[in-house]
Structure 1
């Protein structure tokens, strides 16, 4: 799905003016923020000054329901109340792991291409026997879904955790509904890490909303920055996480303490404790702006694919070692499932990133993988300027 090239650069004027020579093609973390987030950040401060401690009533009564409604619409979720918020996805991972009974290792199925948040935490817990981890190799990418589904069907796993789009390649894990159907036991928790998928690819969770957790945040393609992560929590899974905070009982704080720790039935059961709400202000502003412009993930993904095609076409005649179509880890073309970034496998990945940074073209690398990311903040003119600088910096 390649859509028309859009130009929303005027809506990112503050970020662009702050570093006019930068061409931001980095895949990781910090995508440019649209101008509407500047006013949202100010509103956060003004509400804190106006309301002081009473601001939490505004958070839970107005802001959180507003963002929940936006997220539910973009993800085709039937009930916005299934969405909880946290400052980072690691907090949610810990909370999910705390849902399982103590006394035996949690049996986990995952891939070998998960982001460091999950990889590091699971490796550390495995060292102490708290979890046992089975990892299905992501490569060869073309057969991953088939092999992962077979592993789902063959094992008695407590938790299945997999990325919607792999951060190391831009490949997808396959059809999400088929993944859910591959799990034989309804007792297995299914967690889809949507961090490179949310607002980068159209995502319809309506058919698996009762079965799968969906984990993502605003740091990347939602353009809202740090501190605005969320978890869709299917009903009936994880009723009483051991890792819990006082926000999970926010509506009952004035009641006398009971003999047991209570939890709400909705996604509030996965809430933690006090957090900086500015990320949610920014996220609400971004979604309000996208709604006004009639922009959804379909348009974002179509625009990114058009930019990636333009980038590859412009690179091709330069024949730069490490940046040829043959160096792509995930094939790019009609019908290929793909995230909103390109990943080249090259021993020169670190060298190329350094040389491009010196001329103001920001990309990133992970080992021998060089990544270029594209979003609404990027226009065709940015790609053309980047290609000219790449040719100059790399002698092509």
Structure 2
């Protein structure tokens, strides 16, 4: 299965590039261009009245796509924001005690690590880090207000496979469990139906959703964090039971909305999801294609002397291969000089795969690595 024809604009824009960073800035399919144009056309046609369309059918369609992908029982639990950091800040603000006792893996993304370090520095939080394979047991020992874990770790590709055990710790009064699904959403099949009433789940369009930046989302379980302290006027709700002057909130996921935003990401996301449906492309079929390419690359032994941190097995796998070696930075630079795009995190090279690649691309990458 190859679908290069769906990415004709991105591929033709830089025809000599070999792009193996689908886990980072995934190439945009042609459908996303159509979605971007539609956003502009609606703004030109409707002007001020565009918000009725955006906050109505456009947002509702995006919610329905996400709910179907994650097997969520109720699409209205989903809110949108330009980035997932917004949601972290709002969730944290809703916890009524200080310092907040936080448990996280030792492999969370820079955004979380930086913000948490600053909260610790300011006396707002106390942080305990645990290896991914020890996180659940540590959570079960108790004593935390917030448990934060990536579904797939961004640096190593390790997968947290015990979400149900983790979710079992969650209660409306605390602790709250937040799963960062940015490397899981539309990368591995994810069924949250059994735990949707207990966990927060955040992700976005930049990677495997193929829709670019500006379209991140949060699934917020009912009854958890009903009144975030950090809030925007889009989260307003006319609750007649409130005393005059009180701050009201939507009762669904809308309680986590912020303020005015660029809605073009929603249009792109919807257009991409419609394209996938029309082509019969699912997360499972993309994963099968990706694993085939990954096996081909591993068997080609393109990186001798490097340690593969996430070996291929029979179960779910990250959309990238993570290789550790001391020459990772220099090798990354040498590849970039030849217009071969992967990425590097310290001494770890990440090679990402997607549906705009085929076996010939993998052979070419392996040949270039052997030449270097």
TM-score, normalised to structure 2, is 0.95
Checking the alignment, whether the CA contact within 8 Å between 1:27 and 1:371 is kept in structure 2 is no
- Deviation of 1:59 after TM superposition, in Å, equals 0.5
- Deviation of 1:18 after TM superposition, in Å, equals 0.2
Matched, 1:42 2:31: no
User: Partner of 1:127 in structure 2?
Assistant: 121
Q: 1:252 & 1:340 partners in 2: Cα distance? A: 44
Checking the alignment, whether the CA contact within 8 Å between 1:110 and 1:136 is kept in structure 2 is yes
More divergent stretch after superposition (370-379 vs 229-238):
370-379
Q: 1:135 & 1:319 partners in 2: Cα distance? A: 31
Matched, 1:294 2:272: no
Aligned pairs for 1:222-233 (under 5 A) are 222-233=209-220
Q: Which runs of 5+ in 1 are unaligned?
A: 1-5, 139-143
Match of residue 90, structure 2, among 95, 100, 117: 95
Q: 1:319 & 1:16 partners in 2: Cα distance? A: 26
Q: 2:171 & 2:232 partners in 1: Cα distance? A: 33
User: Partner of 2:264 in structure 1?
Assistant: 278
User: Partner of 1:109 in structure 2?
Assistant: 103
Match of residue 312, structure 2, among 309, 315, 332: 332
More divergent stretch after superposition (168-177 vs 279-288):
168-177
Checking the alignment, whether the CA contact within 8 Å between 1:152 and 1:184 is kept in structure 2 is no
Match of residue 20, structure 2, among 3, 25, 29: 25
Q: Which runs of 5+ in 2 are unaligned?
A: none
Checking the alignment, whether the CA contact within 8 Å between 2:170 and 2:198 is kept in structure 1 is no
Q: Secondary structure at the match of 1:155?
A: coil
- Deviation of 1:290 after TM superposition, in Å, equals 0.9
Checking the alignment, whether the CA contact within 8 Å between 2:238 and 2:249 is kept in structure 1 is no
Match of residue 321, structure 1, among 299, 305, 320: 305
Q: Secondary structure at the match of 1:231?
A: strand
Q: 1:214 & 1:319 partners in 2: Cα distance? A: 35
Decide whether aligned partners of structure 1 residues 129 and 27 sit closer, same or farther in structure 2, where only a CA change above 3 A counts: farther
Aligned pairs for 1:104-183 (under 5 A) are 104-138=98-132, 144=133, 147-182=134-169
Checking the alignment, whether the CA contact within 8 Å between 2:172 and 2:223 is kept in structure 1 is no
- Deviation of 1:151 after TM superposition, in Å, equals 0.8
Q: 1:263 & 1:66 partners in 2: Cα distance? A: 22
Aligned pairs for 1:177-216 (under 5 A) are 177-182=164-169, 187-216=174-203
The root-mean-square deviation of aligned C-alpha atoms, in Å, is: 1.7
Deviation digits for residues 137-169 of structure 1, max 9, x if unmatched? 23xxxxx0xx21221111221110000000010
Q: Secondary structure at the match of 1:166?
A: coil
Deviation digits for residues 187-214 of structure 1, max 9, x if unmatched? 2111000000000000000000100110
- Deviation of 1:182 after TM superposition, in Å, equals 5.0
Matched, 1:241 2:233: no
Deviation digits for residues 344-368 of structure 1, max 9, x if unmatched? 1101110110111111211111011
Q: Secondary structure at the match of 2:144?
A: coil
User: Partner of 1:141 in structure 2?
Assistant: none
Q: 2:145 & 2:52 partners in 1: Cα distance? A: 37
Checking the alignment, whether the CA contact within 8 Å between 1:150 and 1:182 is kept in structure 2 is no
Q: 1:55 & 1:35 partners in 2: Cα distance? A: 24
Checking the alignment, whether the CA contact within 8 Å between 1:74 and 1:296 is kept in structure 2 is no
- Deviation of 1:129 after TM superposition, in Å, equals 0.8
TM-score, normalised to structure 1, is 0.90
Decide whether aligned partners of structure 1 residues 99 and 27 sit closer, same or farther in structure 2, where only a CA change above 3 A counts: same
Checking the alignment, whether the CA contact within 8 Å between 2:303 and 2:369 is kept in structure 1 is no
Aligned pairs for 1:79-90 (under 5 A) are 79-90=74-85
- Deviation of 1:46 after TM superposition, in Å, equals 0.9
Q: 1:377 & 1:190 partners in 2: Cα distance? A: 35
Q: Secondary structure at the match of 1:292?
A: helix
